[in-house]
Structure 1
Amino acid sequence: MSNLFSSLRATATALDALQRSAAASENNVTNASTPGYARQRIQLKSLEFNSAGGLTGGVSAGGLISSRDQYVEESVRQQSSKLGQAQETSIQLTGVDSAFNLNDSTGIAPNLDKLFT
């Protein structure tokens, strides 16, 4: 009787693994055109087979694995941060540049000349 229950348990874990794999595939198809989405898959693990010990083997579902590269993701975050800092610096320096405009009669150089003449 225990072999029957072991077989049923192995079948149940295999069906669970199949269901989770199908759900991950469905999620991949649904989000295929979503910007920034990375494909996911279920890691399948083999179960030990030992007929004397009552282990029927089979397959079980492991964790969800994303196809994203963590190094690349972190690099993109860092570069986006640097871009934001550079853009803000450019905005701030544009105001300073207009105050020190050397090619115009309203800049600091002509006004200093007027002050000392």
Structure 2
Amino acid sequence: MTVEIEDKGRNCGSIGMGNGTWFTILDIPGVENLFNTQKTNDPIDCTRSKARKLADLIEAWEPPDHWFTGIGKSEGKALLIAFLRNCKGFRTHRYHRGFGPFLLNPL
């Protein structure tokens, strides 16, 4: 399965990623204070303010080598930070493998 993050304001294109990539984001210290989730891929409805805070957490964090293997950890980190800083908040959606709109890291 994959997880898609979609801009509520529809200004930014959606980003799809594998569960492992998404769960790694949810494991970043401080993320547990932003979302009421127990590291699942259940839908999240995130405000613009929380999206900016998540961007700050990701920016200060060093991703593991395996993260965003499809495009590389630096590119994946930059892509997510740009999305989170420019979106109007986001929603997450689950997709079965192969059905996401833009798949960066299958599986």
**TM-score range, shorter-chain basis?**
under 0.3
Structure with higher Rg: it is: 1
TM norm structure 1: 0.19
Whichever structure has more helix as a proportion of its residues is 1
TM norm structure 2: 0.20
